[in-house]
Chains A and B, each alone.
Chain A
Amino acid sequence: MNFEWLGRQFDNIVFLLGWHVLLAVAPLILGLLIALPLGWWAHRSRRIYPLLVGVAGLLYTVPSLALFVLLPLVLGTKILDPLNIVAALTIYTVALLVRVVADALDSVPEDTVQAAKAMGYRGYQSLVKVELPVGVPVISAGLRVAAVSNVSLVSVAALLGIPQLGSLFTQGFQLRFLTPIIAGILLCVILALILDGLIILLNRWMTPWTPKVVAS
């Protein structure tokens, strides 16, 4: 490790890290917002479930580099536009979470739903105040997987020249220089761990009724 080089590159690395966080986190939030209604729809309708899960599975098979290259055709963006990366990762996140949200809602015990109904919760209130909160642990387990894989996937965009931590890999490759590569890998892993930890904390905060020991 050449620490002197790292010191000189500090500002640049912070800039890359900032973009990396943005490109990994924005699709996570967008994806969750889109997956919640879709997952609810799949949960409500036995006919929609296999359809949505099937389409999600197909989208998931498209390799990331291919999706990054194909999206400009659909969106009308330039190939270097970071929007392509956000859109691609949002698609992956939705594809992963639709099924998770549907399964989370399916996992809510029928007794709980009946109890909410008996206490006067209407359909919408029961969903927002009872069924979704009870499904939070399952959803956050899915969200953790999406968060960690998003962090890793963002770095693929470096092959197209979109700046984020992956740029350290291509830079190191061109210079035959290990320092930026090791720094990039470490920062990616740390970022993934932090996001993972934040989702665990958020889950614990949103489900105060669960026992303190979290089985993961």
Chain B
Amino acid sequence: MINYLLNPAHWTGSDGIPALIGEHLLYSLIALAVAAIIAIPLGIYIGVTGKGVFMIAGLANALRALPSVGLLILLVLLISPSFPSKMGYILPSLIVLVLLAVPPILTNTYAGVRAVDAAAVDAARGMGFRTMKILTDVQLPCSLPLVLSGIRSALLQIISTATIAAYISLGGLGRLLIDGKAQNDYSQMVAGAVLVALLALVFDQLLAFITRRVVSPGLTRRTLKTAVTPAAADVVTTPVAA
């Protein structure tokens, strides 16, 4: 494994390690952005209006039960005939990545908006804030820790599943694992596994750092405590493994 990583030939060119990391991140961040654009507004809407709450739990559980490998392969076989080029596997991969990333962001955004202290909302209304201003200045900043923790789970899920998508020929670090398997080259597989694990770890810590920086200090102590209630714990510990 060390020899594989130290070989300079593995660090250059279009299939070198930096290029693979770049590709892995590119697909991951595109999928995360699309998922966030869908899930955050929807979560806010459901959290504020209380409409469609039944959908949340059902959706999260149903998507968790779906095997991502099966879903990837199914979509490739269905979609690739109509897209002869690289899109034949990139598009199905992105669809699956977005599909897996939506539930954690959606449930956490919803839970975050719900968990905002009603007294804070009433106080804002009493001070003459309009509904929109309450949303942007009170409800959203207060729900930020949970929203970010949803994004964190989603990103881990995406990085993990993007690795698996190498099987259907998506680029990225998963290539080292899948190609290594095909060539019976265990050191290449281990190198890929270590790099993927490091990538996930670095981005997890990066998001933890961002969370500490952007969340209002007045919130952190209290939200840590309330996250322990059984109902909230179910939402917060949305699993990320895939």
Q: Is A149 an interface residue (CB 8 A)?
A: yes
Residue of chain B at shortest CB distance from A137: B230
A168 to B16, CA, bound (A): 32
A134-156 interface code vs B (CB 8 A; 1 in, 0 out)? 00011001100110110111011
In the complex, are the beta carbons of A70 and B197 less than 8 A apart? Answer: yes
Residue B31 CB within 8 A of the other chain: no
Cβ of B174 and Cβ of A172 under 8 Å apart?
no
Q: By the criterion CB–CB under 8 Å, are A70 and B70 in contact?
A: no
Contact A92 B230 (CB under 8 A): no
Which of B70, B78, B197, B201 interacts with A184 by CB under 8 Å?
A: B70
Say yes or no for B242: interface residue by CB 8 A criterion: yes
Asked if A79 lies at the interface with its beta carbon under 8 angstroms from chain B, I say yes
B200 at the interface (CB under 8 A from A): yes
**B94 at interface, CB cutoff 8 A:** no
Query: Which one of B61, B62, B70, B228 lies within 8 Å of A103 (CB-CB)?
Result: B228
Query: B240: CB under 8 A from chain A?
Result: yes
Residue of A nearest to B152 (CB): A61
Q: How far is the CA of A156 from the CA of B234 in the complex (A)?
A: 24
Q: Does A28 sit at the interface, judged by CB under 8 A?
A: no
Is A73 on the interface with B (CB-CB < 8 A)? yes
User: Which among A61, A169, A185 has the greatest number of chain B C-beta atoms within 10 A?
Assistant: A61
Contacts of A166 in B (CB 8 A): 67, 69-70
Size bracket, chain B contacts? 35 or more
| Contact pattern, A 20-62, Cβ under 8 Å of B = 1, otherwise 0 | 0000000000000000000000000000000000000110111
Complex interface: chain B residues within 8 A of A172 (CB)? 73, 77
The verdict on B38 contacting chain A, using a C-beta distance below 8 Å, is no
Q: CB-CB < 8 A to B238: which residues of A? A: 145
Q: Which residues of A contact B64 (CB under 8 A)?
A: 145, 148-149, 152, 192
Q: How far is the CA of A176 from the CA of B240 in the complex (A)?
A: 29
Q: Are B237 and A181 in contact (CB under 8 A)?
A: no
Q: Give bound CA distance, A99 to B67, whole Å.
A: 25
Bitwise, B175-198 to A at CB < 8 A (1) or not (0) is 001100100001001101110110
- Given contact pairs A104-B230, A142-B233, A184-B67, enumerate 9 new A-B contacts (beta carbons under 8 Å): A60-B240, A65-B196, A92-B239, A107-B230, A156-B68, A159-B177, A166-B67, A181-B73, A216-B57
> Which 10 A-B pairs have CB atoms at the shortest separation, nearest pair first?
A63-B160, A66-B193, A192-B65, A69-B193, A155-B67, A185-B70, A188-B67, A138-B230, A66-B196, A152-B67
Interface residues of A (CB under 8 A from B): 57-58, 60-67, 69-70, 73, 79, 92, 96, 99-100, 103-104, 106-107, 137-138, 141-142, 145-146, 148-149, 151-153, 155-156, 158-161, 165-166, 168-170, 172-173, 176, 178, 181-182, 184-185, 188-189, 192-193, 196, 216
